[in-house]
Structure 1
């Protein structure tokens, strides 16, 4: 996972913002035009485009322009970086709590 550290950092940074998380959540339902997405947020279009660029530069979305309409598509595979990292963290913490439980059980037996 270390080789993906910079990529993971970028994805997590992109997802740190609630507006960008809302965009990802919305795009989970399917491709949507930038204009339709932007209407959901009380910010200017240039400000919204900064969010789109951040998501795109970190590989979470792809955009394509057809005529005057730019459409955003979620890159679900990129979310696998976060899923993999979270799975590793769950494994680590599960092992730690298992060891703590074993220590407490052994210690309780020793004090009886």
Structure 2
């Protein structure tokens, strides 16, 4: 699968987009924090394992970076892959007739 396909697949899921929204609001969360925020703010009933799988898809697409600190793994949003979308379909200033 090419990079764009991986990126679009990662963005196609509502839960993954919500995870990115939460990391935009508060970057550098652990799996526990992400699961808690999704449950409390969005009523998510997804298991910890399901959220972990969503995080892996986001990481494979380059939308997420992780860092370990002792026993904890922190997740950080990385929007650089989204530039390929903006470059592929640039915004035009002139109105469309």
Partner of 2:15: 19
Larger radius of gyration: 1
- Which structure 2 residue ranges, 5 or more long, are not aligned? 39-43
State how 1:1-112 maps to structure 2 within 5 Å. 6-29=2-25, 30-39=27-36, 40=38, 41-87=44-90, 98=97
- Which structure 1 residue ranges, 5 or more long, are not aligned? 99-112
Q: CA RMSD in A?
A: 2.2
Number of aligned positions between the proteins:
89
Aligned residues of 1:11 and 1:82 also touching (Cα < 8 A): no
TM-score (normalised: structure 2): 0.78
CA distance in 2 between partners of 1:75 and 1:61 (Å): 5
> C-alpha displacement at 1:7, in angstroms?
1.1
TM-score (normalised: structure 1): 0.68
